[in-house]
Amino acid sequence: MKNPLFVFLTFALVASFAFAGSTDKSSNVESRVRDLLAKMTLEEKVGQMNQVTIDVVSKGEGGRAEPHALDPQKLENAVLKYHVGSILNVANSAYTLEHWHEIITQIQEVATKKSRLGIPVLYGIDAVHGANYTLGATLFPQHIAMAATWNPELVKKEAEITAYEVRASGIPWNFSPVLDIGRNPLWPRLFETFGEDVYLVSELGRAYVIGSQGTNLNAPDKVAVSLKHYVGYSFPMSGKDRTQAWIPERMLREYFLPMFQTAIAAGAATVMVNSAEVNGIPVHSDHFLLNDILRDEMQFKGFVVSDWEDVKRLHTRDRIADSPKEAVRMAVMAGIDMSMVPLDFSFYELLLELVKEGAVPQSRIDEAVGRILKLKFELGLFENPYPNRSLKAKFASAEFTEANLAAAREAITLLKNDGVLPLSQNAKVVVTGPTAASLSVLNSGWTITWQGDNEALYPKNKLNIVQALQAKLGAEQVVHVPALATGHALEMPALANAISHADVAIVCLGEKAYCETPGNIDDLALEETQLALAKEIIKTGKPVVLVFLGGRPRLITEVVEGANALVMGYLPGMEGGRALAEVLVGEVNPSGKLPFTYPRYANALMNYDHKPLEVAEGNKYAPLFPFGFGLSYTTFAYRDLKLSHQSLPQNAQLQVSVMVKNTGNRAGKEVVQLYVTDLYGSVSRPVKQLKRFAKISLAPAEEQEVKFVLAAEDLSFIGRENKRIVEPGQFKITIGELTQTFTLK
Ligand code: BGC
């Protein structure tokens, strides 16, 4: 075994430089927090740590009256009697901008004008692919599709526009981005992730945080983020949502923490906790994860919010607390600063008792409340807690729609093509399948409603695939034969007849909209009826283009072989229909790359960065399509991979360069991917790991030199002592088919 060169001081240093220059402002905020805390009663403080859902302050049974309206009495009860610090969510479905303005104004009037100290309420919302709870907002591809763009600039833009539209709704806090790593394809929240790779998730997460928060949370169009779900939520053994994960410390540090570290260093304001459990310990009660790692190691300075009802669940579900009160004590002492209670005031009552009894020290309350108030000051809520109506100007503007379309275009990933695509301008096509004529399948969960499945509430001016293709090719050239969509039986004779008059059949497969636990599945395979439909159509002998829409890679191996092309649409958002049509007819040259491994078989779920022993003795990484894969209508050639050093001193940088040429006859975008292999290590090392990427545009015959810089830190890993180390030795760089090796001294 070799000796580690050095142990990293995690991100403490990086974090302390992140906001260099803002010292004056932050000391001012700190003194305002101190002054305010000094004036607050225990009741007022404990109230700040409470978050309730809007139902609690709304009219009607369970707050669900339609049309939605706040109940002034319930509101005063929550804000004046229980001093709630935060409210979240929508009662049923998305509100208009005007309704948001009304209710945020109503809430803040009570909080700032009627309460003793005038502390504004912090409103929080899930705006996970745009301001999805504001009607008409710009709804982007879901994050798995944003990841397929491999373009941090597009993610940053998405975050900027989302922040703008959320703030335009009067809301300053967004429960996004999900930084869970998507390494289990069954998990119904895979679509909310940026995929399976540590580096890709970290880079896109950083871009999101910077786009949403900017450098000044007080700016009128910026919104505080909440990194979620810290940590280990995405790796349930069973694949089912909110179930147990077992993640040894080395694995946790190698695969699950780096993205949170990166986003914290970028200034992320809040963190939301994993609803489930890791290593037998519900994370809401895990002092080690919430303090030793999050605070001491990662230097997180913001506040920690629980997930929905998860403090209570320590008693009701996990049974690690023998009473609701013990659950509150455990969670607060483990590091939960704010509880998303969210349906009552029990947390307030119980925490108050606990402090009075001495079971929770005042100092812990001051710490939590101080963190919450700090964010309220930073967001400028004490100066102006009201919606800024001038932001209506760019809400859902043509400019934002164009940015959304640009993202969808770059997300779409061409996985197979024997030349049938792009379609010719005069092609006659039949479009069929359950995802052909619906907007909800392009958007899925977190769209207008939580489940995103209420098609009737979707905007009338957005195009599904059929409509978008008809707009491109002309209605007479595009025949839609509904099949397997809700309410339509499979009428194969009618379909076969239509296909016999067409040049190409476009078969749109995939998943219905879902979100969280309702999206659990027992089988990764796509439903038999859909596979049967595709097989029948393939049997007709007409060229078949499969389009897949969905949040996870459902198994379709048996139909891909017989199809002429496969287009992966993921969940491309409100402009997804248009973007897909543009790709199908060749107006857009596809450039998306898979952000996950597309499995071939249900029991061969291997990630791309597997270990050597997983591919020894006849075992193979032979997925249907590998991580990072995606075709184009043009071709690219790589040559001259060069390294600045054969032998790299430990403090030097390695310059890597490669020539990339467009060798086809269309302009196209290519994602140049740099992988590192550590040839020998004191713990077994992955066969390769993504360490850099760049998306470039090349005209036909154009060639470009692409350069990357690597440092020792990029060669680091979690060693036997569970600490990050760098070991000298031999490394291999791979870009495309080219490889070069060097030695780290
Ligand atoms: C989800 C979170 C979400 C919260 C508030 C929970 O069920 O796990 O991701 O932010 O609800 O809507």
Q: What is the DSSP string of 174-208?
A: E---B------TT-TTGGGS--S-HHHHHHHHHHH
Whether 687 has a pLDDT exceeding 90, the answer reads yes
**pLDDT at residue 9, as a whole number:** 40
743/745 Cα distance (integer angstroms): 6
The sign of the torsion formed by the CA atoms of 408, 409, 415, 416 equals positive
User: From ligand 1's centre to the CA of 614, what distance in Å?
Assistant: 35
Report pLDDT for 494: 86
Catalytic, 418? Answer no
Cα 516 to ligand 1 centre (Å)? 9
Residue nearest to atom 2 of ligand 1 (CA): 307
Residue nearest to atom 10 of ligand 1 (CA): 175
User: What is the best residue among 129, 240, 273, 308 to mutate for testing ligand 1's pocket, by most ligand atoms within 8 Å of CB?
Assistant: 308
Q: Which residues contact 224 (CB under 8 A, 6 or more apart)?
A: 172, 173, 174, 212, 213, 217, 269, 270, 375, 378, 379
Query: What is the three-class DSSP state of 495?
Result: helix
* Rounded CA separation 400/541 (Å): 42
Distance CA 169, CA 297 (A): 36
Average pLDDT estimate for 128-139: 98
> Is residue 679 very low, low, confident or very high in pLDDT (cuts 50, 70, 90)?
very high
Question: Which ligand 1 atom is at minimum distance from the Cα of 229?
Answer: 9
Phi, psi of 658 (to 5 degrees): -150, 150
- With pLDDT > 90 as the criterion, what percentage of the chain qualifies? 95
| pLDDT for the residue numbered 490 | 60
Q: What pLDDT, on a 0 to 100 scale, did the predictor assign at position 489?
A: 55
What letter would DSSP give residue 2?
A: P
Q: Tokens in use for 497?
A: 């007849």
Alpha carbons 339 and 736: distance in angstroms, whole number: 48
Closest residue to atom 11 of ligand 1, CA basis: 308
Widest pairwise Cα distance in the chain: 80
Pairing status of strand 122-125 against strand 86-88? parallel
Torsion, Cα 265 266 267 269, to 10 degrees, reads -100
State the distance from the centre of ligand 1 to the C-alpha of 401, rounded, in angstroms: 26
Instruction: Give the tens place of pLDDT for each residue, 91-122.
Output: 999 999 999 999 999 999 999 999 999 999 99
pLDDT for the residue 493: 83
Which entry of 55, 126, 241, 307 is annotated as an active-site residue?
307
DSSP strands (E only) in 335-419: 339-340, 413-417
Find out whether 250 and 718 touch, Cβ atoms under 8 Å.
yes
Gap between the Cα atoms of 715 and 736, Å rounded: 19
pTM exceeds 0.75 for this model: yes
pLDDT above 70 for 564: yes
Average pLDDT rounded to a whole number, residues 180-186: 98
Pick the atom of ligand 1 nearest to 242's CA. 8
How high is the pLDDT of residue 25?
Answer: 75
**pLDDT tops 80 at residue 176:** yes
Q: Which residues are near ligand 1 (CB < 6 Å)?
A: 89, 126, 175, 228, 275, 307-308, 516
Q: What separation in Å is there between the alpha carbon of 228 and the centre of ligand 1?
A: 9
Average pLDDT over residues 238-264: 98
**451-475 residue pLDDT tens:** 999 999 999 999 999 999 999 999 9
pLDDT at 85 over 60: yes
- How many Å lie between the centroid of ligand 1 and the Cα of residue 327? 19
What is the position in ligand 1's atom list of the atom closest to the CA of 272? 10
Q: Distance between CA atoms of 54 and 58, rounded to whole angstroms?
A: 6
Whether pLDDT at 488 is above 70: no
Rounded Cα distance between 609 and 686, Å, is 5
Mean pLDDT confidence for 708-737: 98
Which pLDDT score, from 0 to 100, does residue 383 have? 97
pLDDT of residue 484: 82
- Residue (of 358, 348, 281, 270) closest to 306 by Cα position: 270
Positive or negative torsion for Cα 129, 555, 180, 308: positive
